Amino acid sequence: MTQMTGGEVVAATLAKIGVRHVFGIVSVHNLPIYDALSLRDDIEIVNVRHEQAAAHAADAYSRASGELCVVLTSTGPGAVNAVAGLYEAAFVSSKVLMITGQIESRFRGKGKGFLHEHETQAEMLKTICREVSSIRHSEEISKEIARVADDIRFGRPQPGAVEIPIDLQYKMVDCEIVGSEEVPALVPEESLLKEAARQLSRAERPIIWAGGGVNIAGASKALTALAVALDAPVMTTIEGRGSIPEDHHLSLGFCSDRPMMAEAFEEADLVLAVGTRFQNYATKVWTLPLPNLLIHIDADAGVINRNYPSSLPIVGDARLSLEGILGHVTGSSVDIQFVDRVKKWKDADREELLKEIGTDHAAIVSMIRTILPRDGRIVRDSTVPNYTWGNRLLPILESRTSMRAASSAIGPGLPLGIGAALGSGASTVVIQGDGGLMLSIGELATCAEHQIPVIICVFNDSGYGVLRIIQDSVYGHRHGTDLPKNDFVKIAEGMGVAAEHVRGIDEFEQAFSRAVATPGPTLLDIDMDYLAPITFPLPAHQRKKSNDQL
């Protein structure tokens, strides 16, 4: 055992479990941890400007790298600020560990109004974290961090948290540093894999449905190999995009909610679903018809049979499950005419979508994909370009290169981009609206300080575009959705980020090329007034209603 401060125990334990980056803000209630981390050369502290951004960045870092990432906050207001980011991490199943301070042990539970006091902080964190530990003794710090980290990474990932009183962070303690970088994967039952392989080998019109769990488990190669062995088309969810390269001949991308693709599922005689909850948009609010033969694989037993009944449920890690099934596949009975029909439907749907978004946005899609390296990360905030072409038409060519706010929150785009860039080391493009950017505008300073290779494409229409479209359709008037026209070039340059105005499609291609070639951050303020109009089809329940319905 080695004698060290509680803060040094935290830093040493994080290093032992494989943490390479910590996102946070320094505070009076985490100073010993910050100091210990600053003295290490194997962990980098990324100083963000808001704790919510820290959690979003850690989330995207984990999605981009597959690794555990850490958020470091103060007790009280700092921990509360991070909750929205932890909520997103929980929604998308991300490996995020929050380390937060707590007031001195001698004042806990007395309600004396001590600085940053939050007596029910652990209870608050338990509403969004699967496991929360409240440290009572310095000797517990290492083993509790290691225990919570293991829980985060086992099965379906979920965020976890550890709160440490400030006096225990300063206290000297004899402590053994424990923890591991690896956590065993959840092993599926072999007999179920054999049966799945038998059914798949006999299926004539199978469809593989790949969710975000495929990317989380690093199962992209296994998924693609199984699809090829079966000659089966692969449809993905939005989070599952990139689990099979979207330029692969068997990839359908995300299109399960499109009208013509319902025919594919009506014809299908079997669906193999991997790492998915069958969320509402992907299933047209659970009205999409699926065949009686549904093999559902997930690391979380609780999501199987939740939205669609499974004929063959398999609880296990996606990669191990797919590799196991592939090892038992004896051949393919696939009707090639069915596969050809599905591909034609997909291609026809893509052409229809390209017409809907207009020539300028279609050109932007092509330019981004042509100029951005294949492994470049693509991060999308909740904005009109995301919903119309970012989620569907911008090809995703590798696993873990596509990210968005899965909860459909507005504003996480920039901090998600920060985490994705640092987690991958690759150029990262952020598709952002002007309204959403204002929720995390301070993180431009983070980009400048750490010279993060993000390209922030701000589609500036002076408002909350999606909500404005809904208001125009439902109410016929607007309230709260029109915003002043901000000059984001001046704002970015004032924070040390290179920036330029983009007025028209020709300027976009040149500016985006320069941004990709720039090693640090760049912001492009894209004036939507100079682009051809874009069609945004509303869901049925948000279309204009008659007066008697309103």
Q: How far apart are CA 449 and CA 426, in angstroms?
A: 18
Residue 240 shares a structural domain with residue 279: yes
Residue 349 shares a structural domain with residue 308: no
For residue 260, the number of C-alpha atoms closer than 13 Å in the C-beta half-sphere is 14
Residue 33 shares a structural domain with residue 114: yes
Residue 36 shares a structural domain with residue 157: yes
547 inside domain:
no
Are the beta carbons of 407 and 91 closer than 8 angstroms?
A: yes
Residue 349 shares a structural domain with residue 325: no
Residue 368 shares a structural domain with residue 319: no
Residue 159 shares a structural domain with residue 264: no
Domain coverage including residue 35: 2-175
Residue 194 shares a structural domain with residue 292: yes
Other CB atoms within 10 A of residue 40 CB: 15
Residue with token string 């038998």: 198
Q: Report DSSP letters for 168-185, one per residue.
A: HHHSEEEE-----S----
**CATH number of the domain that 232 lies in?**
3.40.50.1220
CA distances from 475 to 467, 470, 484, 544, 548 (A): 11, 8, 22, 7, 13
183 inside domain:
no
Q: How many independent structural domains does the chain possess?
A: 3
550 inside domain:
no
| Predicted local confidence at residue 111, as pLDDT | 74
Give me the amino acid identity at 542.
Q
Nearest to 296 by CA among 212, 237, 208: 208
- What average pLDDT values come out for the chain (550 residues) when binned by 10 residues? 91 98 95 96 96 98 98 95 97 97 80 75 95 96 98 97 96 94 95 98 98 97 98 97 97 91 92 95 90 97 96 98 97 96 94 92 97 97 92 97 93 97 96 96 98 97 86 88 92 98 96 96 96 73 45
Domain boundary among 144, 175, 206: 175
Nearest to 495 by CA among 452, 447, 532, 462: 447
Residue 196 shares a structural domain with residue 72: no
Residues linked to residue 230 through DSSP beta bridges, in sequence order = none
Residue 381 shares a structural domain with residue 519: yes
304 inside domain:
yes
Strands 206-210 and 270-274, by their bridges, are parallel
142 inside domain:
yes
Contacting residues for 88 by C-beta, under 8 A, at least 6 apart: 55, 56, 59, 94, 405, 406, 407, 409, 412
440 inside domain:
yes
Domain boundary among 276, 300, 334: 334
Residue 135 shares a structural domain with residue 239: no
Q: How far apart are CA 188 and CA 191, in angstroms?
A: 9
CA distances from 389 to 78, 384, 540 (A): 36, 8, 19
pTM here is 0.94
Q: How far apart are CA 188 and CA 272, in angstroms?
A: 15
**CATH number of the domain that 358 lies in?**
3.40.50.970
Are the beta carbons of 310 and 304 closer than 8 angstroms?
A: yes
120 inside domain:
yes
| Predicted local confidence at residue 548, as pLDDT | 39
Residue 145 shares a structural domain with residue 239: no
Domain boundary among 334, 359, 387: 334
417 inside domain:
yes
